[in-house]
Chain A
Amino acid sequence: MKPEDKLDKGLEDKIDDLVTKKGVTRRDFMKFCGLMAATLGLEASFVPKIARAIASAPRPPVVWLQFAECTGCTEALLRTADPFIDDLLLEKVSSEYHETIMAAAGDHATACLDSAVSQYAGQFLCFVEGAVPTASGGIYGMIGNKTMLQIAREVLPQAKAVVCVGTCASFGGLPAAAGGLTGARGVRDATGISTVNMPGCPPNAVNIAALIVNYLLNNQLPGTDRYGRPNFAYGNKVHSQCPRRGTDWCLKGFGCKGPMAVHNCPSVKYNGGTSWCVQADAPCKNCTTPGFWDSMTPFFDYSGSY
């Protein structure tokens, strides 16, 4: 460990202060930093750096836009079982606009968005949840008398970076499935703006936290695959990580799409490591791939044996 990686006195105090206010232990905090390092595929020597970034980085401004969505992605973040996720959301980033949690309403809310975009132009991180309806000029989705398409075009070019949270914002998702009437598209597709995509229905909050931690650490977003998905979370096949692979409990005869899917579900799991689809005997639906609502259905193979 290099000397600068060690926890200095000032940082020690900050961490003590943080954990005292939370009513949790130092060990919990360092464990969380370890989880973040592991999720990001970083060596253990990064743990103190992560601790420093969380405990002392300035709060980057964040704007969270919600378009044609079900709020499941926001809920995934809110419901994740780590005591430091709410820190990340409430204290480690400055959530300038997020309709689900913000106190302000109506034109007071819109004023928050306008002021964040002008005050932090080129600096704020923009998270987008939900697809963008583009048919008929975008009239299928409106907020404050503007179409979502219009809002996307006004706000996103001002952001330092755009992160699509969930399959709808990334690739269109459910409203873009066959039969949809609204011309819903993923953000990149609808606006031509480059995005980092965190698909999943919903995506795993641990991965989003890791993306924020990575940003606090390096002031940049992680490397991605050709679909814009960060390699740290979408670099391996579900099946190759699955504890049921090669056992009698493998769900491949039941329509499991794990062999095609990339996501770190089997290692990170959901709800604080409680479980994931296959652990509950539900076949993987490959929810992180573009167009999965059409290309991965039917989701079950009832003729198969399990």
Chain B
Amino acid sequence: MQRRVVYPNRVLPYLLLAPQIIITVVFFIYPAAEAIRQALYQQDPFGLNAQFVWFENFALVLQDPHYWEAARVTLIFSLAVTLLAMAPALLLAVMADRVVRGAAGYRTLIVWPYAIAPAVAAVLWLFIFHPDIGYVGQGLLALGIPWDYRMNGAQALLLVILVSAWKQISYNFLFFLAALQSIPRSITEAAAIDGASGMRGFWLITFPLLSHITFFLLVVNLIYSLFDTFGVIHALTQGGPGVATTTLMYSIYRDGVVNVDLGGSSAQSVILMAGVILLTMLQFRYLEKRVHY
């Protein structure tokens, strides 16, 4: 879409763009290029010497069993978070779409966790799942289940999944609700007359109409689970016990910031960057159908 009427001006548009472009180049493009460059060098721990090593860092990363373990954890973590953040959100949205009385009130009560930082969500649930002071933690122990997410890797992973999903439900809820409310009543009513109502009507008529938004949310939630959940993991388990909750993102942080292995951490960054670009392009395919350039 093009505007017909524009301002003729040679200098002004560049001045207007300057702040955004300068920040983008200095803090986005250059560091990303730098990450790619560092991934091709091997540095001594003091940063004094760097040797060009082609793809050796990538080879080292891909041969490292820890990296594949992190990839496995990330896969389980991301899929579980995405599923657990989307399914309850859809259920709640369908219910909120159905009620008339109190709809606005329910929306407020379900929307506000969006405002909670992932790290703070972790702290809130720690008060509940802590084996010594938390209600659920104590309850599980009383039932004879040896609950301690600080010692048991599977329990740690379960907890970071639950917290990360919990925090994201509000976001998905809003999008599902908006999509449901844009479906014309006449469609669902016609389906009901034809005998497709209730659960059957939902899966036959309503859900296919939500396929667009579902796909969009799938990508958004995967990206969320890859990056924004860093705070949850850092606050709750620090990637442990062992490497049980070390995702690819956490591994970049640990190798780069804690262990100061620049080449290895950069190589991991570049691999993950490629993943994000792929996911974003998938998202574009969705955008293409709605945005007119």
Bound pair: A and B? no
Instruction: Give B residues with C-beta under 8 Å from A.
Output: none
Binding site for B on A (CB under 8 A): none
